[in-house]
Amino acid sequence: MSASPASATRRTLAGLLAAGALIGAAAVPAAADDHRHDHRGSHSSVVIGDVREAGRGHDNRALNREWVEVKNTGRHAVELRGFTLTDEEGNRYRFNGFRLDGKSSVRVHTGHGRDTDRDVYQGRRHQIWDERDTATLRDHRGNVIDTESWGRRGHHHGH
């Protein structure tokens, strides 16, 4: 029994459609996973970078030599509104409407100054960061994003 040209064409077309459906089905989860990674990655790319504890001094200049760097290691900008940076004693700085570009950082200074895209100021009149301390960065929901400890046995970084 021989197949008609029309049924052979239908079988070939059905085979091509089935193959396309398999390829499409395999590609969808990968694409969805990539999108999920980019969304989650926005917070996971934000880390505490360098820390500078300035020692003693209460004038504004000394206070601004003391800072904690917050870095965005990812390619995409991250909105830091509501993120907080705290020390072991519970002193807290809250970011208000700050957008941190990809592959960039901002220094959070202790004293007074004019906020820019690279430096923000807590407006405090006394030292925050001690010789031995831990900086903790939390997202707008209060989840710990990163920590950095220093002074006990060097620097210790954790997520």
Domain with 110 in it: what CATH number? Answer: 2.60.40.1260
Q: Among residues of the chain, what percentage have pLDDT more than 70?
A: 67
Give the position of tokens 């030599």.
65
If you average pLDDT over every residue of the chain, what do you get?
80
Report the b/e string of 111-146 with b at 16+ CB within 10 A.
beeeeeeeebbbebeebbbeeebbbbbbbeeeeebb
Task: Look at residue 78 and tell me if it is in a domain.
Answer: yes
Mean pLDDT of 33-45: 45
Count each helix (H run) and each strand (E run) in the chain, helices first: 2, 11
Residue 1 lies in a domain: no
Domain range holding 115? 45-158
Is the pLDDT higher at 34 or at 143?
A: 143
| CA neighbor of 116 nearest in space, from 128, 125, 106 | 106
Q: If we measure between CA atoms, which residue out of 152, 14, 145 comes closest to residue 68? A: 145
In a domain, 8, yes or no: no
In a domain, 143, yes or no: yes
Look at residue 122 and tell me if it is in a domain.
Answer: yes
Chain segment 106-146, per-residue pLDDT in tens: 999 999 999 999 999 999 999 999 889 999 999 999 999 99
**How many domains is the chain built from?**
1
Tokens of 125: 């009149």
Residue 2: inside a domain: no
Asked, for residue 5, whether it belongs to a domain, the answer is: no
The answer as to whether 11 is a domain residue is no
> Is residue 59 pLDDT above 80, yes or no?
yes
